[in-house]
Amino acid sequence: MLNSSAINFSKLNGLVPCVVQDARTHVVLMLGFMNEEAYKKTVADKKVTFYSRSKKRLWTKGESSGNYLTLVDVLLDCDQDTLLVKAIPAGPVCHTGAATCFGEDNATWNLETLEGIIQDRKGNPQKGSYTNTLLNAGINKVAQKVGEEAVELVIEAKDNNNDLFMGEAADLLYHYVVLLAAKNVKLKDVFGVLQKRHQKKS
């Protein structure tokens, strides 16, 4: 994670603006401000914490509502004075109850959304979670499940029941992303390999 010494907190009297983005959907959720203490607490606790200019104190998003922002990554802009905070929201982000502070919908579902959920389970295990049960079983079990689901998908591909085929396709995608998480590999890493292959052929 980014070291606080790399961030220029001096331009706004010890504060830097922080754009918060959903790590799964890439939708911008809100804007807040951090001082160095808030940044360090965010990194240490993995929950996004700001400095409240009105309350004059540190403020962890969700401390009242329970709608925390679980930290995934932090990027620093080219001037070293603005942060892009990638996080996973536990619920609506805006105090009005809206999904974002900009009135945007945040219901997009894609592979990155799935990856974010699995990574959240990995970092914050939940009792009764199938994902955690699978991860705790070890890499061999996860790899075995991917193989089983791949075979089941091939079998369904030979028939004409699209519902069953899509169900098996979903099972395979899910277990594949769990396998990536178990191997500490991100989808973007796999996409990078595909991109390099495409560039070599073009």
Residue ranges of the domains in the chain?
A: 4-89, 111-201
Taking residues 131-138, report their average pLDDT: 97
The pLDDT score that the predictor gives to residue 202 is 62
Taking residues 86-93, report their average pLDDT: 93
CATH of 111-201, one of 1.10.287.1080, 1.20.140.10, 2.40.50.140, 3.40.50.300: 1.10.287.1080
Which percentage of the chain shows pLDDT scores above 90? 85
Cα 46 to Cα 87: distance, rounded to the nearest angstrom: 9
Inter-residue contact 43 to 51 (CB < 8 Å)? no
Residue positions counted in the chain: 202
What residues contact 188, with CB distance under 8 A and at least 6 apart? none
Grouping H, G, I as helix, E, B as strand and the rest as coil, residue 114 is helix
Cα 112 to Cα 93: distance, rounded to the nearest angstrom: 19
The pLDDT score that the predictor gives to residue 25 is 85
Place of tokens 């974002």: 100
Structure tokens at 196: 């390099």
pLDDT band at 16 (very low <50, low <70, confident <90, very high): very high
Taking residues 42-64, report their average pLDDT: 96
pTM of the model: 0.62
Taking residues 69-94, report their average pLDDT: 95
- CATH architecture type of domain 4-89: Roll (3.10)
